[in-house]
Amino acid sequence: MTAAPPHGRLRTLTASAVIGTDRAGGGTDAAPRLLSEVALLGAQARAGLCVASGLQAVEPPPPDARPVAHDRPQASLLRLLADPDAGLIEEWATLANERGVRIADATVPLVLDWWARQPQRSEAVFIACGKVGEWLAGLNRIWRKPVAAADIPPDADEIWQTGKAAERAALLTTVRRVDPARALALIRSTWSADSADERSRFVTVLFHRSSIADEPFLEAALDDKSKSVRSVAAGVLRFIPGSRLRQRMRERARSIVGTEKKGLLKRGVRLTISPPQQFDKAWERDGIVEEAASGRGKRAWWTRQILESTGLDVWTEVSGLAPESTLEALSGDDFADEAIEAMAVQASASTDRAWCFALADALTERPKIPWTRYSPLWQNLPKPDREALALRAADRIKAGPEDRWQLIAAVQGAWSPEFSRAAMELMVRHAPKRTRDTWQHWHAIEEASRHLHPSAADEFEKAVASVVSDDPTPSIKRSIDRVRLRADMHKEFTS
């Protein structure tokens, strides 16, 4: 036997076996001899393994004063993870955080593993992972907590000047989010060298967090060589209060919007729209397009564009009334639909509560305008307003149950218990004579199943049963199951 340790000899034999004993030169019985020796040395090596020593155990996590959630909610969480639904996991985490409990240690990795792969990572889920979550995220690179607003990289100027188009656009978006003025400065720094495509892409980024500080630059861009840059710049300017473009539009609007007295005593006021007779070439610079899409009147089209770019205060100024009454005074005009849609566009970008409420309400009353197109109006309102609005509109509209469900489902976020019950009872009250399944139902009922307060679970089932057939589609069944699951989840945390 050789004096070398078995492992050393095994390495020599391995080298021969890799190239083949024929080539390694060992005669005809070299292969069987090698195999016999390997059989022996291999067993010796396995039996006499040299174990690594002096290793350090992973430091334990800092103690967490929050107790672990009870077994039943824990088991629910494991079930949710087997078939993950981001909304439900987030709701579980929120409940846990509210109750001051956390996820069990051995489950935390399963949660983080799922969480790290989500496009939108909920803060509540990470918090529910407790100190163990923070500790594990420190050990595992992939789980490091992503910063909500990514920082501007230190070499931002370098990237901006030498980067590829996509890199520059991504950088610009980040910078705009963190430091809007710096984003504008970046655009200006290379403006004369950038292509028309790039320029229009960059100006588009200015939609985000736009302010009067951007106005001089954008106003100048209205004279750009590229038509696309001009039209994007005009698009941004029409949402910047105090911009020169808005002032010009306002003057144009004043010549369109008028009043007349109404009623016997001429005490009431009626708003009238008088569309312009001629297209003014000066309008083009401000992004107004002369040619209308086929089937649409040119004068209505110009009116629409002008009103869309005008601040809402012009309306109250002319009418002398509050937003709700202003809309009422306008409602009988031939061009009321055009005007109200134009106002909705402006209101969507504003945060004026009275306007948003009045417009969202008015839209559900005008059968020709799909109110769902202006859902941002709803998002701008505080939740109690949204709930009041939905109940009011759903009770009033003449359309079918699909629309009623959609109105209710437009209330995003967790519903209050009162609203949940009232809305479901309203559905039962307005139940159609014959049930049917349509995709509008599926979607709205699914949305409702996510937002409903679990205390209204029974009402929900009754409401669903009143509109869909006895053998509901899988999507409806899932929605019903979801509400039950959520109701169980809430109960588990409180019991």
Partner 1 sequence: MSPWTIEQVNALAPDASSASAGQSLASVRKWSSLGRSERAVWGLCQGSGKDPYQARVDLSEPAFKCSCPSRKFPCKHGLGLLLLFAKDAAQFKSSPEPAWVADWLAGRAERSEKKLEQAKVAEEKPVDPEAQAKRAAKRSERMQEGIAACRTWLEDLVRQGLAAAKSEGASTWDRAAARMVDAQAGGLAGWIASIPESLASGDGWDLRTLDLLGRLHLLLSAAERIDRLPPDLSVTVQSLLGKATNKDEVLAQEGVTDTWIVAGQSISEDGTVRSRRTWLFGRSTARRALILDFAPGSRSFDASLPFGVEFDGELAFYPASLPLRALVKDKGESRPFSGADGTFSDRTIEQALQRYAQSLAVDPWLNRWPLLLGGAAVGRDGDRWWLLDSTGRGLPFRPSFTASVHLWRLIAASAGREVLITAEWDGEYATPIGLLDHATHQFCDLSPRWAA
Q: Cβ 431 to partner 1, closest distance in Å? A: 22
Indicate whether 147 belongs to the interface with partner 1 (CB under 8 A): no
CA atoms within 13 A of residue 279's CA, in its CB half-sphere: 17
Identity of the residue, 344 or 452, whose beta carbon is nearer to partner 1 in the bound complex: 452
- Beta carbon of residue 180, minimum distance to partner 1 (angstroms, whole number): 40
Q: Which stretch binds partner 1 (CB under 8 A): 21-29, 169-177, 317-325, 363-371?
A: 21-29
For residues 194 and 446, which CB has a smaller minimum distance to partner 1 in the complex? 446
| Phi/psi of residue 72, nearest 5 degrees | -70, -50
Q: 3-class SS at 430?
A: coil
Q: Candidates 1, 3, 19, 148: give the one binding partner 1 (CB under 8 A).
A: 19
Of 244 and 484, nearer to partner 1 (C-beta) is 484
Cα radius of gyration (the chain): 33
Local structure of residue 374 (DSSP, 8 states): G
Closest distance to partner 1 from the beta carbon of 169 (Å): 34
Pattern of binders to partner 1 over 25-64, x per CB under 8 A?
Answer: -----xxx-xxx-xxxxxx-xxxxx-xxxxxxxxxxx---
Which residues touch 147 (CB under 8 Å, ≥6 apart)? none
In the list 113, 123, 280, 334, the residue contacting partner 1 (rule: CB under 8 A) is 113
What single-letter DSSP state applies at residue 21? Answer: H
**Residue 79 within binding range of partner 1, rule CB under 8 A:** yes
Q: Which residues of 32-64 are buried (b: 16+ CB within 10 A; e: fewer)?
A: eebeebbeebeeebeeeeeeeeeeeeeeebeeb
> Which residue in 2, 4, 8, 20 binds partner 1 (CB under 8 A)?
20
Which residues lie below 8 Å from residue 408, measured CB to CB, with a gap of 6+?
390, 394, 423, 426, 427, 444, 448
Query: Are 254 and 318 a contacting pair, CB within 8 Å?
Result: yes
Contact (CB, 8 A) for 126 and 92 = no
The pair of three-digit structure tokens given for residue 200, joined into one six-digit string: 């229009």
- Closest approach of partner 1 to the CB of residue 480, in Å: 9
Asked if 75 interacts with partner 1 (CB under 8 A), we say yes
As measured in angstroms, the least distance from the Cβ of 175 to partner 1 is 35
Binding site residues, partner 1, CB under 8 A: 10-11, 13-14, 17-23, 30-32, 34-36, 38-43, 45-49, 51-61, 71-72, 75, 78-79, 82-83, 104-110, 112-113, 132, 136, 139-140, 471, 481, 484-485, 488
